[in-house]
Every structure is written in structure tokens, then in C-alpha cells.
Structure 1
Amino acid sequence: MGSGSSIGNSISLRRNSVTSRRNSNSSRKNDQDSVFYLACKNGDIATVEEMLPNLTFGQVNQVEPNGNTALHAASSCNRPDIVRLLLSGGCSRITRNRAGVTAYQEAATDEIRTLFHRSTSDRFVDENITNSFKLLTSNDADTETKINIPDDWVKGHSSADSAHEAKFIIALANSRNPLHKSVKNQAEKRSTSSFRMLVSQAVASEHQEYPKVSGLLKNFANKMGIGNLITVYTLQTPIYTNLQKEADSLSTLIYFHLSELQDRAFQGESYRGARMTEDDINAYKWAIKREGYVLETRTFQSSSIEISIAQEFIQQQQQQNVKDQHDSRFSVLLTLVFPQKCPTAINLTAKALPLLSEFEDEKEVLILPFTLFSVKEIKNDSQDGQYHITLINVPTPKTSLSDAAECIKS
């Protein structure tokens, strides 16, 4: 009896200790840093491991009286084990401290900085390029021209003026007609419901990013901005993979709220990797010889302002595929040129604006479906065999909603 009572008391004391620490973290004096924050700052990993599972997402990411979060403290004080623990637990990466700096920017060493990087490369490298772009060809093009169009590039129209889907969704998003507004509201409700369902299928309640995803969805529902849903896209979750197959719900919502992102419209060059077959490359060669033909993005595409980021991810993919002797695809670097600000190329890490990407080192420019490009140049590096393809953004022509709708019907 004495031994059993002693064990029971020990367990009770341990539970009380955890409860006491959790309470002290939330009920501290206003001018004192929390117990959890101090443990992260001082490298007390035992206390962090004990407290972390019992804290809410808000408590883990709270800004302390000194202006920093626990992640800022661990990052700046060179506590790699604790940074790793916080990030694996779904800690927010985009919270800025009182000085406007993220924990990534506060990193004491390159080792700490590396812990914030994404572990996989699939977002910045296309494995199936014909799923990402559609060649727009003319309905009234002659039969010989249509026969010569490469596989998977058969549908569409011959110029930007014929990109009716893109013109329709932009016209609907910008329309102030009360009737159109009603249609837009209904479409937004359906898209929100569809996106929530997609998210729930991809991220179960036990997933480490579930609290973060739930908070971002709640923020959007509370009219706190479309940026919350874009951040959901950037998370390292199966949501990204699902969106490559079902982009409609999120793309509709972003287009309807595009005015919120006008300060992020990108101008300049961004880069993306690809793996292409010889037929894929021949398709681009085919398109470059035909003036006026444009490509339309079919999916969300992540690109980077830094060419080194795209090249790094290409190299990762090459290393993954080196064991496959039957993979004869070529390595391709896509340069995407935006001569003027493009509202459907969104800078997620723009200076002086809140971060929308969880991985700020990637310097991401998110390219929406229905963005138009023409093929400017194709080169092959004789030394490493890599192809370089340059695409120029083509602005989507403005049109009335009724005209765009009629064109889609026809």
C-alpha cells in the first residue's frame, strides 16, 4: 500500500507540475516573460518538451513583453534543438517581433537558418509540364495547324484576346453590378465550402500543422484577408498536392479578393525548374515559331525571385532521379519575365508587407491559374545539358463579363 501510494503521489505531483507550469505561462505578470519563453531562450529542453504539448497555439506563439516570441529567443540564442522542436510542433514561422523581424532573420548561425528551410523540392520543379500549362490555339485555325499541335496542347485559342476563362473570372471579380455581386457571393460560398473540405481531407486533427491551418481558416472567415488562405497553401502539408489536382476553389477565392493583393503584384523575373521529355521541349520549340500563340497556366505555380533557389531544387530532383536509368527527361530552368506589374503573380515575401509564405528563404512569387505567357527563347547549355526557356507574361485583356461569358458558351 505504501509503495502504491508513493507512486500515485509521484504521478500526481508530476501532473501538478505540468499544470503549474502551464498556468504560470498564461497567468504571468504583465512585465515578466513566460516560463516557456525563458526555457526556450535558456536552452532548457526538458522544460520545453514538458510544456509544449500542453500549450495552445496562441500561447506558443505569443509576443512576450520584451517584444519577441519563444521562437525568436531560441533562434537568436543559438538553440538548434529547441528551434527544431518548435518548428516540428507547428510553431508560426511568419510572426514578426516588435522590431518587425522574423525568427528566421534573427537566426544566430547558418545551422539555425537551415532548420527553417523546406525539406522537399516539389513546389518549384514541374514533373509534368503539360499539366501546368495549356497552349491556346485558334478555334478557326486550319486543320493542318491543329494536327501539328503537340500532344496535350490541343485546346484553346490563338491569342490573349481569346483567353476567355481568364477574362471571365477577372471581369466577375471586378464587376460592381448588383446582380453579378449576388452571383459572386454564391460562388464564394461554394468555393469556401469546397476549399474547407479539401483542407479537412488533407490535414487531420492530429497533424502537427492542424492548429495553424484552423487558425488561418478562422481568420479568413472573420474577414481578416485572403492572405490567410495563401499561407495555408505554403505550408508543408498534403494541401499543396491536392490543390494541384483541384485548384478551382482556392483560385476562385483569390481572384475574388485580388484587390487585397494589389501591392504584391510582381514585376521582374522569377524562376522555376522543370523536368521535360524531348517531346515537351519540342512543343515549346513549336510554340515559339508561331507568333501570337500563348500559354495559360492551369495550376498554382511556385516560382522564386532567386535563381539559386530554383537551381537548388532542380539539383535535388536530379539526385532523386539519378537511380532511375529509364528517366530520360531533361533538366529545365524556366525564366518567367513580367515586364509590368502582374496582379496574378503574387509576391509572398514583399518587403514592408506581412509575410504570406511560411518559408521566407524561398522568396516565392505565386503564379495563379489563367496567367498568360508567350515563349521568347529556348537555349541548351552544352556543358551540363540543361535547357533554359524564357517565358514573357502577356497581360489578360479587359472585357465585359457578358462578352466573356458568351465566348465561353460558344
Structure 2
Amino acid sequence: MGNWIVQKVKSLEIFSFIRRGKSTAYRSDPNHPENRSPDESTTTTNIEQIPTPKSVLMPTTTDSSVTNPTVETTNSQIEVTVTPSNNCSDFYLACRNNKIEEVKNSLEKIERQQIDRVEPNGSTTLHAASYHGHAEIVELLLEAGADRTIRNKYDNLPFDEAKNDEIKNLFFRIPTSSRLVSDTGATEWQLIDDDDILEKAVEERQIIKSLYDSISIATMFERIEKNYIGKSLAHFDRIEHIKRFFRRAIEEKDPVWIIKAYTAETDFYKVFNKEMAGGANKYQHERRYIIALLSHHPKLDEFSYIGMSYRVMQMSDDDLRKYQDGCSLMTKSLLSSSIEEKLAALFLYRQELARKESGETDRLKSDGTKIKLWVMCTYEIKHRRTALYIENSSQYVMESEILIMPYTVFKVKKIEPVKRPELSDEHFTNIELEECDQYLNI
């Protein structure tokens, strides 16, 4: 299995790289900021005159029975904040020129916003290090919390500018992350009979819509940052990165910063979803404000997604038997999925490979069968603002994430075991879920 799964991981990683390969044509452009001397800096005026390229990453589906997935997008001008100086910073030059010790020393002294500074040539430190293939510099910047979602003058993210696959691999989330691979459905779903689950979904959605309509956007942002981030999460891992995102959210009144914070690999998304699923009372209003902004803020209308998405989880046979064709379930937390089934599978295989390489063995029942089996969930999303297509605002762009809102009701259409010889499971189960219509009365 070992060699087979290594090959599978590599082939799917290549698929993800090709899918994001829109920047290739720009690398040879003589006017590319990383091909020019830093003293030939592009002025702010010149940057603003460069048109935004049209997106080439359109959602796809292989199911001909489903209406083509849609993402509402706009072709707005690139929004970059460029320093008024025409000189590139010393820190940027150190990153561009692979001066590792200088970068290490600077990271101990500079403020976080200097890492994300858009230079007069329209580039950032992370763009430069990625473009020139400086792997250690890229690692240092990512560890320091560099924003992976800033675009350069070609509308490319740092991942898109990466010189080679080695650099691109540095942008992946750690294989053991539970972000797109879950070890249980308990945190994600609530399985109830149809009437109860629909009533619960309607009730929660009405509460959230009422909060959004009655409280100002500025107040919601301020209370989230002050109470939930500043108090509830104050002692969690890498919280300073999250605070930085929410400070920008307050300044700009922009919910995209919530997406950036949620997709970062910190304790924020883990704690938030655990509390949402468990119904924690403390800071409940602040968590509802987050959902209200993600569900109703007009800035995110262009992120609205209709179509198919995919997520992998592990479930025991006993848990799996609770799910039958035709049963209904409701999401209890924000649910991360991918627009591409191959990418959802990639994160499964990466986790399996990491587990095998660490020497971890499968937990078995007394009869020798595995306690938990892999399940691929396919979600058919049918309504606006049920889910957001956040690929280009995510800190992990290669995940091609579709973020499904809490209190969304799905009906199980089909449960089907599929043989996957590359995995050590007896079978791999596919669960097809279709969003219900009846609860959408607000």
C-alpha cells in the first residue's frame, strides 16, 4: 500500500497545482515585478492601471443531472494598498535575495503588517520568496503569519507565483489537520426526524437573520473582536494572527477578513466549531454575529455557491448504520468542503500516508475489522448563501474550499459502499446528500 499511496498523493498534488496554474504565462513577462530590478519600482498609478484578469477557475461538476454550479463573481479592479514610498523595503529585498539570517533577525523586530506590505512594484515578501524559489524564506514568512491571500499586480496569490512544486507544497496544511478530513460526524451533523430538524433549522436561521437586521455591522464586528476573540480565545495558539485579521475586519467593516481568520491553521476554527456544535452559551451572541455576517453581509453575495462539494470523514460501522436513505440531517457548525472530489481525496490520502509513515497502526475490533472507515460525503447545494466559494480568500487556496453554513438541512439520497484497493479498509462509503427546500422560509 505504501508505494501506491505515495504515488496517489503525488498525482493528486500535481492535479491541484495544474488546477491553480493560471500564473504560468506571467512568469516570463519582462515587466513582472520579480523580473525587474527593485529600483525600477512600479508606481501606485501604474499598478492601478493594470486590468484585473478574468478568473479562469470556474467550479466544475461531473454530474450531468445537476444544474451547473454557479458562483456569483465580480470583475472589480485589484485592490492593493501600496506604500507611498517608491523604494522597496529592506525586509522585502532580504526576502527576495534569500538573505536568511537577515530575514530571521528582522522577523524578531518588525511589526506584523510589514510582512504583508505591498511594495511599490506591486509585490510582497511572500510573492518574492515564492517566485524566486527561496524555500526557507517562504517557511519563515508562513510561520510568522504572512497573509497568503494578498494579490500582486497580476491578480496572483503567492501560491500561484511559486517557482516549483517544492515551494507549492509549503503552502499545504499539515496532513494531520482535521480541516477537510473529520474523524466523526458528531460535531458536524445533527440527525433528527424530518419535522424536528426543519423546525430547528428555521428557528436558528430566524434568530441569526434577526440579529443581522437589528444590530449594526460595526457593532457586530466590535463585539466579536472585543468579547470572543479578545476574551474567550485570548490564550489559544496563534491568537495574535487572528486578532490581526479581526482588527482589519473592524477597520474595513469587511467580512472577508473573517474568512481569512477562519481558514488560517489556528485554534480559532476548531474552538468555534466545537462550541457551535455543542451549543455553548457563553459568547453565543458573538458566534451568531459571525454566522450572521457570513450568511447575510452583501459583500459576500459574490461568493455565493450552488453546486456540488465534497468532504471526507471517518465513521464507525455503528455510526454509519444510523444513516439511511431518505433521512435528514442538519449542519451544526461551519462545514469545510472542497469544490473538487479529487482534492477531498487528496487530503484523505495525505492523512493516511502521514499516519503510516509515523508508524501508527489501525485500531481494530475483536474480529479484526477496522473500528472506523472512510466516508466521502457529496453535498448538493441548491440555494443562495447556503455556501460560500472561498478559494481565493482562503489562507489555503489549494483546498478550493466551499464553506457550508450552519443550520443547513440535507436529505440523504444514497449510501453506497465502494471498493478502494489503495486503502486498507474493507470498503469506502459514499454518502450523497441533497439540500432540502422546506426550511427556507425566511
Aligned residues: 334
Q: For 1:162 and 1:36, how far apart are their aligned partners in 2?
A: 53
TM-score, scaled to structure 2 = 0.69
Q: Is 1:279 aligned to 2:318, yes or no?
A: yes
Change (3 A) 1:215 1:171: closer
Q: Is 1:378 aligned to 2:415, yes or no?
A: yes
Answer whether contact 1:166 1:371 (CA < 8 A) is retained.
no
* Larger helix fraction of residues: 1
- Equivalent residue of 1:308, what SS? helix
Q: Map Cα deviations across residues 351-374 of structure 1 (whole Å, 9 max, x no partner).
A: xxxx32101011111112101111
Q: How much does 1:133 deviate?
A: 0.8
Partner of 1:103: 158
Q: Is 1:121 aligned to 2:177, yes or no?
A: yes
- Equivalent residue of 1:105, what SS? helix
Q: Map Cα deviations across residues 173-192 of structure 1 (whole Å, 9 max, x no partner).
A: 565xxxxx269998887655
Change (3 A) 1:185 1:329: same
Answer whether contact 1:80 1:111 (CA < 8 A) is retained.
yes
Answer whether contact 2:208 2:289 (CA < 8 A) is retained.
no
Matches within 5 A, 1:114-263: 114-119=169-174, 120-137=176-193, 156-157=196-197, 160=198, 163-173=201-211, 175=213, 181=214, 193-203=227-237, 207=238, 210=240, 212-247=241-276, 248=284, 249-256=286-293, 258-260=296-298, 261-263=300-302
Change (3 A) 1:317 1:116: closer
Q: Map Cα deviations across residues 25-45 of structure 1 (whole Å, 9 max, x no partner).
A: xxx993222222122111121
In structure 2, stretches of 5+ residues that fail to align are 1-82, 277-283, 365-369, 422-426
Partner of 1:16: none
Answer whether contact 2:191 2:328 (CA < 8 A) is retained.
yes
Q: For 1:182 and 1:65, how far apart are their aligned partners in 2?
A: 39
- Equivalent residue of 2:322, what SS? helix
Change (3 A) 1:184 1:234: closer
Q: For 1:243 and 1:395, how far apart are their aligned partners in 2?
A: 27
Q: Percent identity at matched positions?
A: 28
Please say which structure displays the higher CA radius of gyration.
1
Q: For 1:365 and 1:346, how far apart are their aligned partners in 2?
A: 6
Q: For 2:113 and 2:229, how far apart are their aligned partners in 1?
A: 24
Corresponding residue to 1:336 among 374, 379, 382? 379
Between 357-366 and 223-232, report the one with greater CA deviation.
223-232
Change (3 A) 1:46 1:171: closer
Change (3 A) 1:259 1:396: farther
Answer whether contact 1:304 1:363 (CA < 8 A) is retained.
yes
Answer whether contact 1:372 1:396 (CA < 8 A) is retained.
no
Answer whether contact 1:173 1:256 (CA < 8 A) is retained.
no
Q: How much does 1:383 deviate?
A: 4.3
Partner of 1:152: none
Change (3 A) 1:135 1:342: farther
Corresponding residue to 2:145 among 65, 78, 90? 90
Change (3 A) 1:165 1:126: farther
Q: Is 1:299 aligned to 2:341, yes or no?
A: no
Q: For 2:161 and 2:420, how far apart are their aligned partners in 1?
A: 39
Partner of 2:111: 56
TM-score, scaled to structure 1 = 0.74
Corresponding residue to 1:312 among 333, 343, 346? 346
Q: For 1:256 and 1:398, how far apart are their aligned partners in 2?
A: 18
Q: For 1:246 and 1:133, how far apart are their aligned partners in 2?
A: 13
- Equivalent residue of 2:371, what SS? coil
Q: For 1:162 and 1:80, how far apart are their aligned partners in 2?
A: 49
- Equivalent residue of 2:309, what SS? strand
1:282 counterpart letter in structure 2: R
- Equivalent residue of 2:313, what SS? strand
Change (3 A) 1:52 1:122: same
Change (3 A) 1:395 1:231: farther
2:210 counterpart letter in structure 1: L
Q: How much does 1:222 deviate?
A: 2.7
Change (3 A) 1:358 1:306: same
Q: Map Cα deviations across residues 233-256 of structure 1 (whole Å, 9 max, x no partner).
A: 111111122112213533432324
Between 367-376 and 314-323, report the one with greater CA deviation.
314-323
Q: Is 1:366 aligned to 2:418, yes or no?
A: no
